[in-house]
Amino acid sequence: MNITCLTLFPEMFPGFLGYSLAGKAMKENLFSLRAVNIRDYATDAYKTVDDVPFGGSAGMLMKADVLDAAIKANYTSGPLIYMSPRGQTLTQKRVVELAHEENVTIICGRFEGIDERILQSWPIEEISIGDFVLSGGEPAALTMLDAVIRYIPHVLGNADSLAEESFANGLLEYPQYTRPQVWNGLSVPDVLVSGHHKNIENWRKEQSIQLTKERRPDLWKAYEASQQKKG
């Protein structure tokens, strides 16, 4: 996968993606990450990338002409994504889809956002990582990429663990335990040390269902609907 991030702060990349699994995958050339400075495409002496919004409003907007030039010079194919709080909320399904793309280009906004005409002129997909506002698109892009990179083939040593994570099957992940078997007076549930694989599987499914009902009723509703469609 070839990832290009259009940003006013290229020094923010690769950030934490340079460590752990993602860092190892980058060194092994399982993906490449290129940060492009949007300011390089400004044409005036001051390298201006923002201006006041028409109609009056607080803050500044990223200029359409500068951002358009940055996109033209760096976008080739594949998803063109703008990290935006008004975008569609990122889902595990979309994460897995992105992991199988050859090229992904991400626009990281700043200030109050970008000129709307950029969104009208390019096949841009707006993605949000949650119902909150950040100071810029870079932290959102890094977070999304951390999720995506894990699904690139050969990045994760044990691919089976991906199938058991939260959201992989529409439910939250079940509780997990490791040694010591008793800690601070708390014991590992007996079923997990029973050696009975079917009982363990059933217990984990029950725990996932219970946690999803309690913590994410929206997910539970969607899961129930999906199960009804199956049969």
Does residue 217 share a domain with residue 104? Answer: no
pTM assigned to the model: 0.89
How many domains does the chain contain in total? Answer: 2
Hey, CA dihedral for 218, 222, 227, 228, is it positive or negative? positive
Quickly state the pLDDT bin for 168 (edges 50, 70, 90).
Answer: confident
Does residue 43 share a domain with residue 143? Answer: yes
Contact between residue 130 and residue 89 where contact means Cβ atoms under 8 Å apart: yes
Does residue 175 share a domain with residue 119? Answer: no
Does residue 133 share a domain with residue 48? Answer: yes
Q: What tens digit of pLDDT does each residue of 66-95 get?
A: 999 999 999 999 999 999 999 999 999 999
Query: Residue 125: CA atoms inside 13 Å, Cβ hemisphere, count?
Result: 13
Given a cut of 70, whether residue 163 has pLDDT beyond it is no
Contact between residue 97 and residue 151 where contact means Cβ atoms under 8 Å apart: no
Does residue 85 share a domain with residue 49? Answer: yes
Judge whether 67 lies within some domain. Answer: yes
- In this structure, the number of other CB atoms found within 10 A of the CB of residue 218 comes to 9
The range of the structural domain enclosing residue 191 comes to: 164-230
Q: Give alpha helix (H) positions in the chain.
A: 20-27, 64-74, 92-98, 116-121, 137-149, 160-163, 197-215, 217-230
Does residue 201 share a domain with residue 130? Answer: no
Look at 169 and 139; give whichever has higher pLDDT. 139
Distance (Å, whole) CA 22 – CA 148: 10
Does residue 183 share a domain with residue 101? Answer: no
